[in-house]
């Protein structure tokens, strides 16, 4: 049976694909009963859509009906409040983040709504983000200003 590392590898594949497209390298997969039912990546840059975060893209590419109750979402970065709200709204029971240093704000929000949060504290998501920031100076700050204006 596949475990957290396997599913996080799939989320990292999405993040790498996003970086190759010139986008913010954050990826996500939605898992139900040991199988991936949705994949996504941050497409803010590619689609010029500030709401198209990796987790939202993943949910949009999952099944249309039946809800997501009892599922786990794997994201290369700790979800922001927008994506955390979607997890609460759709009954996702568990969030596994590749790293939480870059955007730690919503962890407490998720936990306060009964969602289990796991931080794998992996180096690769941090390295992908650092590469993005090196390639596209200023774009990460622009992204953060949209999701966390109090940081600026």
Name the residues annotated as catalytic.
Answer: 55
**Is there a contact between 15 and 41 (Cβ–Cβ < 8 Å)?**
yes
Contact residues for 31 (Cβ-Cβ < 8 A; gap 6+): 7, 37, 71, 72, 73, 74
Contact residues for 18 (Cβ-Cβ < 8 A; gap 6+): 24, 25, 26, 27, 41, 42, 43, 46, 54
* Strands (DSSP E) found in the chain: 27-32, 35-41, 72-75, 94-97, 116-119
Cα–Cα distance for residue pair 141/56, rounded to 1 Å = 20
Cα–Cα distance for residue pair 77/126, rounded to 1 Å = 9
């Amino acid at each position: 049976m596949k475990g957290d590392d396997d599913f996080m590898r799939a989320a990292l594949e999405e993040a790498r694909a996003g970086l190759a497209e010139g986008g913010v390298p954050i990826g996500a997969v939605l898992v139900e009963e040991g199988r991936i039912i949705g994949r996504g990546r941050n497409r803010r840059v590619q689609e010029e859509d500030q709401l198209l975060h990796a987790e939202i893209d993943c949910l949009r590419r999952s099944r249309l009906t039946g809800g997501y109750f009892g599922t786990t979402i794997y994201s290369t970065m700790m979800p922001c409040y927008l994506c955390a709200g979607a997890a609460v709204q759709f009954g996702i029971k568990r969030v596994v983040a590749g790293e939480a240093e870059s955007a730690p704000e919503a962890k407490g929000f998720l936990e306060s709504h009964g969602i289990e949060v796991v931080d794998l504290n992996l180096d690769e998501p941090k390295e992908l983000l650092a590469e993005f920031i090196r390639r596209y100076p200023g774009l990460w700050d622009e992204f953060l200003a949209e999701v966390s204006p109090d940081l600026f």
